[in-house]
Chain A
Amino acid sequence: MRNLFNRQNLVALLGIVLLYAVIQGLIVFDIMPPFYKLTLILICIYIILSTSLNLINGITGQFSIGHAGFMAVGAYISAIVTAIHHGPLLLGLLAGAIAAALAGLVVGLPTLRLNGDYLAIATLGFGEIVRIVFLNTEYVGGAAGFTLSSKITWTWAFVLMVLSVILMKNFVSSTHGRACISIRENEIAAESMGVNTTKYKVIAFTMGAFFAGLAGGIYANYMYIIQPMTFSFLKSFDILVMVVLGGLGSMTGGIVGAIVMTLASALLASVPEWRLVITAVLLIAMMLFRPTGILGTKEFSLSFLGKKGDKNATSKN
């Protein structure tokens, strides 16, 4: 347990708690305008989405663009549980995430044999199929969508986001995560080093889908209304842009990408006709000057804080 409570983790924990407390304080004392609160919760949702897509696209190197499909599964299933069956919120969110993970497993098993463009097309197709299915299901309101009460607070969104990121980061920095990275780096070598590549692709895909479903559930239970159009191809594309902007293969990059893109679209909300133009120009500039994304495959870390402690640990050995 000594390892879990090193200085680095404690500082990170302190930062997270502080960030939460400050914003919660601003909300409780009504200082924070509602629009800011909306943006903050959206940032939490998009952080989960972009880091989970990063798990598939950046870490494992499989090109998936059907993330909105998993998000939709999570959103609808959790909405059915909480709004139609009046189940508790946590149960709804979990049900949505698990349903999305199952969808990921079912889609992943056959399609992960495909590489590159073919996988992209297959996942794109999956996303559209999900959308069309919900569009034509009267039980969930069809094209009009259906309304539910908003139960997600800043606390829910923030805590779930932090938990998701920690779980995904733990995965990536374990031997299982390294197995996924080795697939991205060189699939043939990975396999000949004893990595069951199919298994790890499916694990990454299923995990990515799980967290996308969770994010979908948070979205649905915050937004009052969900409609099939929300989960179109464009949504998948938005998430992909965040991942690429932040840096494919960097978990912290995914977070940065999500924050930057959500803030950009919030700041440009007053000039809607220019919003897409400006983001497009930004992205083109990005690709010209820093094609690996803001962080590349690097991780932002607090390891400089722990260095002294680490040295002591090794000298004890």
Chain B
Amino acid sequence: MPLLKIDNLSKSFGGLKAVSNLNIEINEGELIGLIGPNGAGKTTVFNLLTGVYDKTEGKITFQDKEVSGLKPYQVTHRGMARTFQNIRLFSDLSVIENVKIAYHQRSSYSLASALLRLPKYYLGEEEMQHKAMNLLKIFNLDDKAEETAKNLPYGEQRRLEIARALGTEPKLLLLDEPAAGMNPQETHDLMNLIRWIREEFKLTILLIEHDMSLVMGVCERIYVLDYGMIIAQGAPDEIKSNPKVIEAYLGEEVV
């Protein structure tokens, strides 16, 4: 049984069909790429998966349960977490607070314990601090834990966003253009990081990316989206030589 199964998913905005008849299956532990030219509908797919948009037609099944129609926080609770194409950190909060908010949904103390400062509050906060620090250590951000998030360099903000998404303890991680705006060296490091977190956290990852070196380098399977439809899927090598993909990206081949 696949971890995530998308059946005939469609989304229309008025007369515009942003996504039509999308079928994707992702098995546990896979690292899948979703690529396509600008405006192909990739981010719309993410928004549909995470409940930001409601689908027009179709069905999304995650861990054998239907998730379409759920609110974003419910989807996150089921074990799907995402990052954003345009970074959406809690920019005026400290780095560690950003991560702690992700741990909120698994927090172990009630509102009453918080108000009355019962021992459970201290235990819960200590545990959260501990978990958040560990996560920051993994992402090499622990020495900046108290720094305001918006003051981090761009690449570190991207890393923090991934760390924050992992804070929700997901099964499936959705990365929306994680390498956007990174230089080749940073992209290379990111590639290693993605591989590494998949092993370390036993994750399944679906990523949207424009940077072909990254996609071809880390993804095991790739779906190519154009005008809201899947035009090709397969291993990176197959995709590279697929005429339809080349046409979608570069126009028709000139002989």
Contact = CB atoms under 8 A, between A and B. Distances in A.
A171 B92 contact: no
Given A179-B104, A192-B52, A193-B168, A174 B121 contact: yes
Interface residues of A, number: 29
Interface stretch (B28-36, B75-83, B205-213, B230-238): B75-83
Interface in B65-83: 71-73, 76-77, 81-82
Contacts of A188: 52, 72, 84, 88
B117 A170 contact: yes
A31 interface: no
Interface in A151-197: 167, 170-171, 174-179, 181-182, 185-186, 188-197
Which of A179, A191, A203 has the most chain B CB within a 10 Å cutoff?
A191
Interface string B168-197: 100000000000000000000000000000
A1 interface: yes
A192 B77 contact: no
Given A174-B121, A175-B109, A196-B73, A190 B114 contact: no
A4 B100 CA distance: 21
B227 interface: no
Given A175-B100, A185-B90, A185-B91, A193 B167 contact: yes
Interface in B33-88: 50, 52, 71-73, 76-77, 81-82, 84, 88
B218 interface: no
Contacts of B81: 192-193
Interface string B94-126: 000100111111010101001111010110110
A72 B116 CA distance: 27
Contacts of B77: 194
B11 interface: no
Contact of B82 (A178, A179, A192, A195): A192
A192 to B, nearest CB: 5
A87 B54 CA distance: 53
Contacts of B221: none
A182 B125 contact: no
Which of A3, A4, A189, A317 has the most chain B CB within a 10 Å cutoff?
A189
B119 A1 contact: yes
Interface of B is mostly: helix
B92 A185 contact: yes
B104 A175 contact: yes
A189 B84 contact: yes
B104 A194 contact: yes
A181 B115 contact: no
A189 B89 contact: yes
A179 B125 CA distance: 14
Contact of A194 (B84, B130, B168): B168
B222 interface: no
B50 A175 contact: no
Contacts of A197: 73
Contact of A191 (B72, B93, B103, B164): B72
Given A175-B128, A182-B104, 5 more contacts: A174-B125, A178-B101, A188-B88, A189-B84, A194-B73
Interface of B: 50, 52, 71-73, 76-77, 81-82, 84, 88-93, 97, 100-105, 107, 109, 111, 114-117, 119, 121-122, 124-125, 128, 130, 164-165, 167-168
